[in-house]
Amino acid sequence: MVGVIEKRDIRKLSLEEVKTFFVERGEKSFRAQQVYDWLWKKAAKDFDQMTNLSISTREMLKEHFTINHIRVDNMQRSEDGTIKNAVTLYDGLVVESVLIPTKDRITACVSSQVGCSLDCKFCATARLKRMRNLSPDEIYDQVVAIKQQAELFFNRPLTNIVFMGMGEPLLNYINVIEAITKLTSPEGLNMASRRITLSTVGIAKMIKKMADDDVKFNLAVSLHDAINETRSAIMPINETNPLEDLADALKYWYKKTKRKVTYEYVVWKDINDTQEHIQALVKFCKHIPCKVNLIEYNPIDDGVFQQASPEAVQRYQSTLEKNGIVARIRKSRGKDIDAACGQLANKS
Ligand code: SAH
């Protein structure tokens, strides 16, 4: 079709590219900075919000570009204050993000992929097949939406970000890093890297890559068991990425970054609630400085996995602590609205 301009998503452009766009059309290059502020600092969804630009400039932008913003279509609030968002992407696919309030923090838990390819047997997201990676701005926008909810509903600022929503962030590495770069830059939200945690199943070669890239955020690894046979049965990724490789990568990570790792660990009845598994974990924890979060199991109605007894969890905690390893028992949040870890499955 002659004369029709194929519109691009303007947020795929760097600041330099927006500048070039303006200069080529005889406009002042500082306009680019104004547009960029609207797009990233104020998360504008429409060119008409950009009121410091003339109407003709806005029309010109509309002719060439779209803003592929996300839409929070369904917001559910838990009894404990947790908010779960169903987030519709520009192509109609849906992911979920969660706001978790505590006494001194407000944490945004965000998704990095639509669905997940890893098939962890205890996780509801695994039932959705992986559809696609999220783009950097789709990740960024989830944080902005939660930041706005924090201010609106709690009158408090957003303090932390965790990549513990849907998907495996290390299988969408480039986009996740780009989103984090924006989130931590003065052009974006100016968040501190040390308040961001990326959670992964523990893909060894990507952990090494992060160490090489000198990333400044925190690393959490979903461990759940430190015996290969058991871990492979519940997390198939472990078959090709066994604990030995994971330990190697973590040692490399620590050598380069000097930062502790957090292990996430669920204790299940008849799966990993015995002394043998506790001892294996203690041994694994000796590789590098770390701490263990013993997280509560959030049932996904499959009948196979059941939370272990409080005594079993206690046994884990006291054995770890006796060995000088910090271990915390974490209550889950937002369970009543299926917003807790592993429950994100686009039910609504
Ligand atoms: N793919 C990343 C991030 C998503 S899962 C990862 O695996 O770390 C976020 C956390 O929730 C992980 O620690 C995961 O193991 C945990 N999780 C998954 N299903 C769960 C469930 N049903 N109950 C409790 N935690 C669960």
Q: Is residue 258 a contact partner of residue 288, using CB atoms and an 8 Å limit? A: no
| pLDDT value, residue 128 | 83
The question of whether 296 is a catalytic residue gets the answer: no
Which DSSP category does 117 fall into? S
Cα separation, 249 vs 245, whole angstroms: 6
Distance CA 142, CA 308 (A): 33
Cβ neighbours of residue 247 closer than 8 Å, sequence gap 6 or more: 284, 287
Which residue's CA is the closest to the ligand 1 atom numbered 12?
A: 222
Measured from the CA of 224, which atom of ligand 1 is nearest? 15
Characterize the bridge pairing of strands 132-133 and 113-114: antiparallel
- Tell me, what DSSP letter sits at residue 144? H
| Model confidence at 140: pLDDT above 60 | yes
The pLDDT value given to residue 3: 58
Region 158-174: what's the mean pLDDT? 97
Q: Tell me, using a 6 A CB cutoff, whether residue 126 lines ligand 1.
A: no
Question: Is 199 a residue whose pLDDT tops 70?
Answer: yes
What mean pLDDT comes out for the span 14-24?
94
Q: Is the CB of 308 under 6 A from ligand 1?
A: no
171 lines ligand 1 (CB under 6 A): no
3-state secondary structure of 179: helix
User: Whose Cα sits closest to atom 8 in ligand 1?
Assistant: 200
Specify the residue with its C-alpha closest to ligand 1, atom 1: 168
Q: Domain 71-337 sits in which CATH superfamily? A: Aldolase class I (3.20.20.70)
How many whole angstroms from 215 Cα to the centroid of ligand 1?
Answer: 22
| Of 72-76, 93-97, 172-176, 237-241, minimum mean pLDDT range | 72-76
Contact 125, 180 (CB under 8 A): no
Instruction: Indicate if the pLDDT at residue 348 is higher than 60.
Output: no
Please give the number of the atom of ligand 1 that sits closest to the Cα of 300: 22
**Cα torsion 42, 157, 293, 248: sign:** positive
In the chain, domain spans: 8-66, 71-337
Handedness of CA 206, 212, 213, 217 (dihedral sign): positive
63 is catalytic: no
> To the nearest whole number, what is the mean pLDDT of the chain?
93
In this structure, whether the domain defined by 8-66 belongs to CATH 2.60.40.3880 is answered with: no
pLDDT mean over 324-337: 88
In the chain, where does DSSP find H-type helix? Answer: 15-24, 30-36, 55-64, 136-149, 173-184, 204-212, 228-234, 237-240, 243-257, 275-285, 310-322
